[in-house]
Amino acid sequence: MFLAPSRLKDHWREQRLFLARSIAGGVLMIFLTSAVVLRLVNLQVIHYEHFSDLSQGNRVRIEALPPTRGLIRDRNGVLLAENLPSYQLEMIPEQVADVEETLEKLTAMGLIREHDRERIDQDLRSHPRFRPTALRYQMTDEEVAIFAVARQRFPGVDVQAGLIRNYPYGPVAVHALGYVGAVSQADLERLDAADYAGTTHTGKIGVERAEEATLHGSVGHRQVLVNAEGRILQEIERSRPHPGRDITLTLDLQLQLASESALGDRRGAIVALDPANGHVLSLVSQPGYDPNLFSVGISTRDYEALRDDPDVPLFNRALRGVYPPGSTIKPVVGLAGLHYGTVSPWQRVYCIGYYTLPGHSHRYRDWKKEGHGPVDLHGAITQSCDVYFYDLAVKLGIDNLQSFLGAFGFGARTGIDIPSEKAGTLPSREWKRARFARREDQAWYPGETVITGIGQGYLEVTPLQLAQMTATIAARGARFRPMIVAARGDRATGETETLAPVALQPIEVTDDSYWDQVFRDMTDVVHGERGTARRIGLDAPYRIAGKTGTAQVFTIAQGEEYEADDVDERLRHHALFIAFAPAEAPRIAVAVIVENGGSGSGAAAPVARLVLDNYLLRSDQ
Amino acid sequence: MLDEPLDRPRPISVAQRLLAGLHLDGPLLMALLTVCCLGLFVLYSAGGQNADLIVRQGVRIVVASVTMLIIAQIHPKFLRLWAPWLFLGGIILLVLVLVMGEIGKGAQRWLDVGIVRFQPSEIMKLAVPMMAAWYLHERPLPPTLRETLTVLLLLSMMPAALIARQPDLGTALLIAASGVLVILLAGMSMRLILAFGALALAAAPLLWMNMHAYQRQRVLTFLNPESDPLGSGYHIIQSKIAIGSGGVFGKGWLNGTQAQLEFLPERATDFIFAVLGEEFGLLGVVTLLLLYLLIIARGLYIASQAQDTFGRLLSGSISLTFFVYVFVNTGMVTGLLPVVGVPLPLVSYGGTSMVTLMAGFGMLMSVHTHRKLIPQ
């Protein structure tokens, strides 16, 4: 009875209400707009004289002072990236009567290089006309003198002193160091525009990119008195920029140089780690390129040459190249067999040169056609018997195999402190279900387990992951995140921030003596009388533990297409070798991949030996 | 005369037929495109005659127009049905941004979704008025106290507070305004309006306590710009000089010394109105303001012709929020209001806000062109 009368929608009334409200809104709107217009009249009509005078006398301008970029050194303090004073030729288009003619004349005088013209034209189009555009970086003293004489004839063109990034060793370690390049529109969206107001270059890849925040520093400002044309007359006040901090890497330049020369001009990758802390001692991806090209503004022609090179020098094989690990994972598969109790060290398998799954006729061949005869785990690793591991993989099953390999970091990024690393592939039942669309492709077939046992099939790893695996074995299960930045130091205050190694979940096996077994097996790969890599062990003054690998390929890992006449060479097997030494107390772990090198023992093992020699046989250590 | 059938359609031109077929509104479209074109001219000068900048902005205008065209095809019924989901999704994204901001450092407004990065606050600019209009759609108006409070607190202030935490005070303000405008248009009682006004005044000191240092600085600078001529007051001083020295007729296109010699900061984005004032004078700025008023007047007309509560409130709110944009930006540039980062709609350089604005106008067009014809 006392219920409120139910409210009904009265459209007519609502519409009138809305109309009344929008008219009120309209009136308020006109009132507020009038306020703005009155303000404009006040500024532009009533106080016009005042503001006009102010604008003509507007002489004080604030300019950004870019900070000096931090230096990069190797672990022993050798400079890898520095800043060199450089003279550059700049033009302010607005102040030049005939831009085209000026450029022609300067080109004729040899002050602008012909192949830079394309870049200059592009810069002229995209830069504001009152901003200086660089015509030529890194002028020689002679060129500066030539211009100084002719300067009168070129109003609007001037020589400016600045700092330019220089990599004294050129292409050495470029895939670790990275490079700096001109700040692009995309960079500006990522970076703090205010802090980069005066900065021309920023890290694009590698350590230069990863440590951009450390290396860059912070911007300073100065107030200058300018005339009506914008020319600086006097400096009034200045707040200094704070220079970027210096970086010390874990890289060892000597070892890096030795690694690069050991690989020579072959395509491939080398990663050397310190097993005790994950320090990257050398990181090679061949072929490389000269980062100095980028810091001085790479010409379109040079860039296209790099981009279109069939050897893909810009591609970081060490971090992004994915390869089948081949036999190099046999020690880990063997360890898995011991850990899960699937095999015992003395159990033998009779190798007849091939393996067949029960009930199937398909023959999985051993690399040795006539077979190895009866082999135990030790023999299977030293002689790299495939049949033993086919059999072991099937007994372990893909689930155990996948979880044990996963614990070593396969199929996931290592988390190294430089960008663009790939994760590779660790196949499993779930992975296959997610990877393929068709039902019949989604099932896991026993044959796929067989070949996973010798590191073939879907399994793909990066050289960095392989090196990390080797280091993990060398450290008896202790795992570390690979790191390349060792310390950050402030030149101004002298403070140094040393970065601690990051320990990862260690590998724990059911019996610690299994590690001894793996050490013994791998040492005999190099020093045993039947070891596949015995050739590099003959004259070694220290003991090496290693494992060869040969990975079948059909196409190169990056999926590039090549001319028919060089297909044969590109279809050869990848040669792999992993090693750590000295075997008694490992100080270095290394993974070597020589693309299309043929065999691991012939092509990759000698490279690894040269790397180990350089690190372990130094006179000063 | 009498043998002419009464329902004979009036003759219409090809252009009208084309516009009707595309669900576009002629007057609104013309006014919007005129402002965009005018904006490109000013931007060319403000950006230091950088052709690339113009191309990029041109592409944005095209993208925004296409977005508008697409949204205009959607029946308002669907806009209404999607409103709660859009709102809910927007809130979730805002919380996500805040959580990620906690992990990162400082202001976090962007969300990286694989290929595109966008600010979830942009979604809310449309989702808040849509949601508020959806909420009031079925209810008899004027709204009760409970309904008023729901719209004010839950649908307007809550998302605005999330955005203010980012911190992005300018956008938070606009979003709160778009929700408040819906309830005002719906007929919130005068007594309540006065009560809230008084409450807001009383709460001002509380707001001051909760402001970030830089936000306080902006208010202080606004009250006395000369106190910090080279820091945050620099913007206002230089922008006033630019506008004032333009006079009635302006210094001429590309001839503004304040803009061209880089005295004026943010001249391509938030302070582009000052470039217009310097180079085109009082005539230029008043012309632009009139164009804006034309757009808003057409928007309010469309709202008044809408056939249901949702369409009416949504159109009205979008139109009046557009005015808030214009007023806050021009007020800031002329020194009437403190410096809040609100771009000049359709003119300032920048992508996301342009798309959101045009999407809003697409909704207006959809409301207007999907009406059922009622015999007069």
CATH code assigned at A206? 3.90.1310.10
Q: What pLDDT sits at residue B237?
A: 82
- A331/A224 same-domain check: no
Closest Cα to residue A330, out of A190, A168, A531, A490?
A531
In whole angstroms, give the CA distance from residue A336 to residue A455.
14
DSSP 3-state of A280: strand
Element (H or E) spanning A101, and its range? helix A99-108
- B311/B230 same-domain check: yes
**Residue A4 forms part of a structural domain:** no
Q: What are phi and psi of A573, to 5 degrees?
A: -65, 150
**Residue B158 forms part of a structural domain:** yes
10 Å CB burial of residue A241 (0-12, 13-18, 19+) is buried
In whole angstroms, give the CA distance from residue A454 to residue A367.
11
- A544/A419 same-domain check: yes
Q: pLDDT confidence of B225, banded at 50, 70, 90?
A: low
* Identity of the residue in A35, A40, A126 whose CB atom sits nearest the CB atom of B243: A40
- Per-residue DSSP letter, A100: H
Instruction: Tell me which chain A residue has its CA closest to the CA of residue B54.
Output: A126
In whole angstroms, give the CA distance from residue A224 to residue B317.
48
Q: What are phi and psi of A238, to 5 degrees?
A: -150, 135
Q: What pLDDT sits at residue A129?
A: 65
Q: What pLDDT sits at residue B104?
A: 44
* Identity of the residue in A17, A58, A130 whose CB atom sits nearest the CB atom of B142: A17
- A244/A257 same-domain check: no
**Residue A125 forms part of a structural domain:** yes
**Residue B1 forms part of a structural domain:** no
- A244/A258 same-domain check: no
B262, B293, B315: best to mutate for the A interface, most A CBs within 10 A:
B262
Within chain B, what is the greatest distance between any pair of CA atoms? 80
Question: Cα B67 vs. chain centroid, distance in angstroms?
Answer: 16
CATH code at A461? 3.40.710.10
- A243/A287 same-domain check: no
Q: What is the tens place of the pLDDT at every residue in B56-115?
A: 999 999 999 999 999 999 999 999 999 999 999 999 988 888 877 654 444 455 665 544
Is pLDDT larger for residue A204 or for residue B375? Answer: A204
Closest Cα to residue B189, out of B129, B132, B145?
B145
- A439/A528 same-domain check: yes
In whole angstroms, give the CA distance from residue A549 to residue A546.
10
Tell me the pTM: 0.63
- B51/B65 same-domain check: yes
- B97/B221 same-domain check: no
Contact A130 B277 (CB under 8 A): no
In chain B, the N- to C-terminal Cα span, in Å, equals: 20
> Which of A222, A249, A276 represents a domain boundary (last residue)?
A249
| Residue B41 in tokens | 């001219």
- B216/B203 same-domain check: no
- Please tell me the distance in Å from B226's CA to the nearest CA on chain A: 14
Contact A33 B289 (CB under 8 A): yes
**Residue B169 forms part of a structural domain:** yes
**Residue A2 forms part of a structural domain:** no
> Which of B209, B241, B269 represents a domain boundary (last residue)?
B209
The domain in which residue B221 lies consists of 15-73+211-376
Contact B300 A26 (CB under 8 A): yes
- B197/B252 same-domain check: no
ipTM for this prediction:
0.89
Question: Which residues of chain A make contact with B320, given a CB cutoff of 8 A?
Answer: 25, 29
> Which of A219, A249, A279 represents a domain boundary (last residue)?
A249
In whole angstroms, give the CA distance from residue B296 to residue B273.
19
- Written as one letter, the residue type at A423 is A
10 Å CB burial of residue A281 (0-12, 13-18, 19+) is buried
Contact B247 A48 (CB under 8 A): yes
**Residue A313 forms part of a structural domain:** yes
- A585/A501 same-domain check: yes
Q: Is A254 left (phi over 0), alpha (psi -120 to 50) or beta?
A: alpha
* Identity of the residue in B140, B181, B320 whose CB atom sits nearest the CB atom of A9: B140
Q: What pLDDT sits at residue A488?
A: 94
- Please tell me the distance in Å from B4's CA to the nearest CA on chain A: 34
Q: What rounded mean pLDDT belongs to chain B?
A: 84
Q: What pLDDT sits at residue A299?
A: 77
Identify whether the C-beta of residue B333 lies closer than 8 Å to the C-beta of residue B273: yes
pLDDT at B263 over 90: no
Distances (CA, A) of B129 to A102, A551, B135, B370, B371: 58, 62, 10, 19, 20
| Residue A172 in tokens | 């050495």
Instruction: Tell me which chain A residue has its CA closest to the CA of residue B44.
Output: A128
- Please tell me the distance in Å from B80's CA to the nearest CA on chain A: 18
Please count the structural domains in chain B.
2
The whole-number average pLDDT for the span B267-294 is 93
Identify whether the C-beta of residue A80 lies closer than 8 Å to the C-beta of residue A177: yes
Q: pLDDT confidence of B7, banded at 50, 70, 90?
A: low
> Which of B194, B209, B224 represents a domain boundary (last residue)?
B209
Distances (CA, A) of A606 to A257, A560, A594: 16, 28, 11
Please count the structural domains in chain A.
2
- A206/A278 same-domain check: no
- B202/B241 same-domain check: no
From A282, A285, A327, A428, active-site residue: A327
Contact B261 A37 (CB under 8 A): no
Neighbours of A383 (CB within 10 A): 22
Contact A33 B303 (CB under 8 A): no
**Residue B173 forms part of a structural domain:** yes
Q: Where are the alpha helices (DSSP H) in A1-78?
A: 11-41, 48-56
* Identity of the residue in A26, A54, A130 whose CB atom sits nearest the CB atom of B48: A130
Active site residue A344: no
The whole-number average pLDDT for the span B165-173 is 79
**Residue A186 forms part of a structural domain:** yes
The whole-number average pLDDT for the span B220-247 is 74
For residue A588, the cross-strand partners are: A581
- B100/B115 same-domain check: yes
**Residue B135 forms part of a structural domain:** yes
SS (H, E, C) chain B: CCCCCCCCCCCCCHHHHHHHHCCCCHHHHHHHHHHHHHHHHHHHHHCCCCHHHHHHHHHHHHHHHHHHHHHHHCCHHHHHHHHHHHHHHHHHHHHHHHHHHHHCCCCCCCEEECCEEECHHHHHHHHHHHHHHHHHHCCCCCCCHHHHHHHHHHHHHHHHHHHHCCCCHHHHHHHHHHHHHHHHHHCCCHHHHHHHHHHHHHHHHHHHHCCCHHHHHHHHHHHCHHHCCCCCHHHHHHHHHHHHHHCCCCCCCCCCHHHHCCCCCCCCCCCHHHHHHHHHHHHHHHHHHHHHHHHHHHHHHHHHHCCCHHHHHHHHHHHHHHHHHHHHHHHHHCCCCCCCCCCCCCCCCCCHHHHHHHHHHHHHHHHHHCCCCCCC
- A180/A215 same-domain check: yes
Identify whether the C-beta of residue B363 lies closer than 8 Å to the C-beta of residue B18: no
- A277/A235 same-domain check: no
B115, B261, B290, B302: best to mutate for the A interface, most A CBs within 10 A:
B261
Q: What pLDDT sits at residue A577?
A: 96
- Is the alpha carbon torsion for A285, A286, A291, A294 positive or negative? negative
The domain in which residue A213 lies consists of 62-93+103-143+156-249
Identify whether the C-beta of residue A86 lies closer than 8 Å to the C-beta of residue A163: yes
Q: Which residues of chain A have pLDDT under 50?
A: 1-5, 555-565
**Residue A50 forms part of a structural domain:** no
Instruction: Tell me which chain B residue has its CA closest to the CA of residue A29.
Output: B323
- Written as one letter, the residue type at A231 is R
- B236/B149 same-domain check: no
- A286/A315 same-domain check: yes
- B222/B355 same-domain check: yes
Q: Where are the alpha helices (DSSP H) in A225-368?
A: 253-263, 292-295, 300-308, 317-320, 330-339
- A288/A401 same-domain check: yes
> Which of A229, A249, A269 represents a domain boundary (last residue)?
A249
**Residue B217 forms part of a structural domain:** yes
| Residue A613 in tokens | 């020699």
**Residue B297 forms part of a structural domain:** yes
**Residue A402 forms part of a structural domain:** yes
Q: Any chain B CB within 8 A of the CB of A52? A: yes
- Please tell me the distance in Å from B141's CA to the nearest CA on chain A: 6
In whole angstroms, give the CA distance from residue A371 to residue B238.
87
- Please tell me the distance in Å from A30's CA to the nearest CA on chain B: 8
- B153/B282 same-domain check: no
CA atoms within 13 Å, Cβ hemisphere of A621: 9
Distances (CA, A) of B130 to A156, B153, B305: 56, 15, 18
Q: What are phi and psi of B291, to 5 degrees?
A: -60, -40
Per DSSP bridges, beta strands A217-218 and A179-182 are: unpaired
- B216/B327 same-domain check: yes
**Residue B284 forms part of a structural domain:** yes
Distances (CA, A) of A179 to A164, A282, A404, B190: 12, 17, 37, 65
The whole-number average pLDDT for the span B296-311 is 93
Q: What is the tens place of the pLDDT at every residue in A198-219?
A: 788 889 999 999 999 999 998 8
- B120/B173 same-domain check: yes
**Residue A35 forms part of a structural domain:** no
Identify whether the C-beta of residue A319 lies closer than 8 Å to the C-beta of residue A420: yes
DSSP 3-state of A302: helix
